[in-house]
Amino acid sequence: MTASRWRADVRGGLRRVRALLRGPEVSPRRVRSYLAEMRDRPRPLPADAPRGSIAIVVPCFGHARHVPTMFESVVRQTRSPDELIFVVDASPDDSGAIVRGLIAGSGRSLRTRSTVLVNETNLGQAASLNRGIATASSDLILILNDDDYLMHDTVATVMGLFAAYPEIALIGAHSIHFATDDELMALPKTIADYAGPTGPSLEVRQPGDVLAYRGYNDLNLTHSGSCFLRMAWQAVGGYAADKRVRIVPFSDRDFQLRLNALFPVAVSPTIPFSFWRSGSSVDHGLNS
């Protein structure tokens, strides 16, 4: 065995030992604690929830230069959302002014009720999302980060899937990563381009599956393009702004896990619903 191979084997062994000492990324103890906390709370059935209207909620922080590209993906939806709600979280740039200008300049191309909420102090992504969702009156909530881009038929697709899967409380999907707007513009931009005429197939996850999860990506779906029943958001207590009570550190994945612990969710594992901008995610700890 060469010295370099020996060093690589040692490093690999140390990584495995550290992983064992840290334990699983998704702690079964935290999942059980959450389930015990929720045991006596009302749990409505997704099939009983209305799903005829949809709001897109966009938290905004530090991505002013990407906001116009994101906004284009909303304007170009084949089925317009019923509501569009921006939450500008005391952003250090001019995101708020850009959002207002885009709405004012969209004219009839944006056929939806638009709201811009501004946090006077930085509340973080979880609390901002909760504020935006609480403002919405729609049955379904579709999340779009301010630096990402929706497939142009995402709204129409998720509404059709919620009609076809009445037992599901959340639907999410794979995404395509991109680095620059030029790269994004060169790619096909509808779910139909990737799924064909049959549409995306969904993999259903039951609440009983959650205790078997060990890694963050055992439930793997992109935040942008994820859509859920407003009723389910209420039932799980919304996004957890207090990091100490989360099952995992990331506010989006924590919300998805807590929701899946109570309700069936569905994932499109290979067909994307959105484009995810690499290298600029809000949720790197700064604003999560």
Does residue 282 have a pLDDT over 60?
no
The pLDDT score that the predictor gives to residue 115 is 96
Task: Indicate if the pLDDT at residue 279 is higher than 50.
Answer: yes
For position 42, what pLDDT does the model report? 87
Average pLDDT over residues 81-103: 96
State whether residue 234 is helix, strand or coil: helix
Q: What is the pLDDT of residues 25-59, one digit of tens each?
A: 999 999 999 999 999 888 899 999 999 999 999 99
CATH topology of domain 26-277: Spore Coat Polysaccharide Biosynthesis Protein SpsA; Chain A (3.90.550)
DSSP H or E run through 178: strand 170-178
Kindly provide the b/e burial profile for residues 100-123, where b requires at least 16 CB atoms within 10 angstroms of the residue's own CB: bebbeebeeebebebebbebeeeb
- What was the pLDDT predicted at 109? 80
Question: Average of pLDDT values for 236-259?
Answer: 96
Q: Which two tokens stand for residue 91?
A: 């952003």
Q: How confident is the model at residue 20 (pLDDT cuts 50, 70, 90)?
A: very low
Question: CA–CA separation, 218 vs 207, rounded Å?
Answer: 13
SS3 of 269, please?
A: strand
Q: What is the pTM of this model?
A: 0.90
pLDDT at res. 283: 44
DSSP code of 245? G
Which residues on neighbouring strands pair with residue 88, listed in sequence order?
Answer: 60, 118
The ranges assigned to domains in the chain are 26-277
Q: For a pLDDT cut of 90, what percent of the chain falls above it?
A: 84
Please report where in the chains the tokens 């901008």 appear, as a residue: 277
